[in-house]
Amino acid sequence: MFTIKQAAHRVGVTEATLRTWERRYGVVSPERTDAGYRLYDQPALAALSAMRRLIETGWSASAAARAIVNGEIPLERDSPPASAVAAPSVATCLQEFLDASSRLDPRGVEASLDQGLSIGSFEYAVDTWLFPALVALGEGWARGEIDVAGEHMASHQVLRRLGAAFEAAGTRTRGPKVVVGLPAGSFHELGALAFATAARRLGHDVLYLGPDVPDQSWLTAVRSHDADAAVLGVVTTLDQQRAGQTVRKLRAHHPDLLIACGGVHGTSLAADVHTLPHDIADAAPALDALLHQ
């Protein structure tokens, strides 16, 4: 039997993801200790590993869970833990990404993205490899090692790749309806798009607005999408004031709307605004939990 921490490590997802898959989709029903802690046996790990594999290949979480529960998917009960499967070195992929960016080599950037995003689930790869690579890219530009042209080219490649992942995640018209974007004057959208993709992979019906969204457009999007929640990316200190203004407008017109913020500076906007975890793997399940309280 395995604790939730051990199970998450072997399956290759976060503990929050395991709880979401259990609570919302019923993929497994782990035993409990007398103190209430979850325990997972080998068949449960096999079901959870199958869930991860299906989602990584483009299945929605709900469809994957339904197929597993109905016995439509063979379970590899003796498969090695995700952590034991050979994967490209994170450090190697990161350096190749930076080298290709400095050479203005789009094919090299694409190849490094292929490798880096293959190290695990979408959420794991984004948190463990992609975001650190983007930070290193910015630092390389600041030191003069990467020209602004290389930085822009690489960032655009990442944006295209995340956009493709968002589209591949599909839609779930009966899931919670969520609007995701950035406030007016904010343009750093990669984190928001990655979050929107992770939320869609959990089965949310996500309308992604992108960067620099005026307050009136937020109101229009929430109304037309009949949204249950609005999530704002707050990346810089300047974004805080802009996001605060958007929050006040949303609250005035939609008093029952769940409002959440993510990003480095997505904290302390208002007492009734939820702050999501920084990691994408934790942020999407956190929103899901709020929507299903």
Least confident residue range of 54-63, 93-102, 153-162, 208-217: 54-63
DSSP string for 150-206 = HHHHHHHHHHHHHHHHHHHT---TTS-EEEEEEETT----HHHHHHHHHHHHTT-EE
SS3 (DSSP) at 275:
strand
Instruction: Quote the pLDDT of residue 173.
Output: 62
pTM (predicted TM-score)? 0.72
Banded model confidence at residue 117, pLDDT cuts 50, 70, 90? confident
Closest residue by Cα to residue 110 from 156, 44, 77, 68? 156
Alpha helices in 70-128 (DSSP H): 90-102, 106-116, 122-125
What are the tens digits of pLDDT across the range 172-219?
A: 667 899 999 999 999 999 999 999 999 999 889 999 999 999 999 999
Domains, the chain: 4-84 (1.10.1660.10), 90-168 (1.10.1240.10), 177-291 (3.40.50.280)
Banded model confidence at residue 87, pLDDT cuts 50, 70, 90? very low
Mean pLDDT computed over 122-134: 89
Residue 129 pLDDT exceeds 50: yes
Residue 40 tokens, joined: 């997972």
Banded model confidence at residue 25, pLDDT cuts 50, 70, 90? confident
* Residue appearing with tokens 């600041």: 142
Banded model confidence at residue 271, pLDDT cuts 50, 70, 90? confident
Work out the angle at residue 188's Cα, subtended by the Cα atoms of residues 279 and 216, and round it to the nearest 5 degrees.
105
Question: Sheet harboring 205-213: ordered strands across?
Answer: 205-213, 177-183, 229-233, 258-262, 274-275
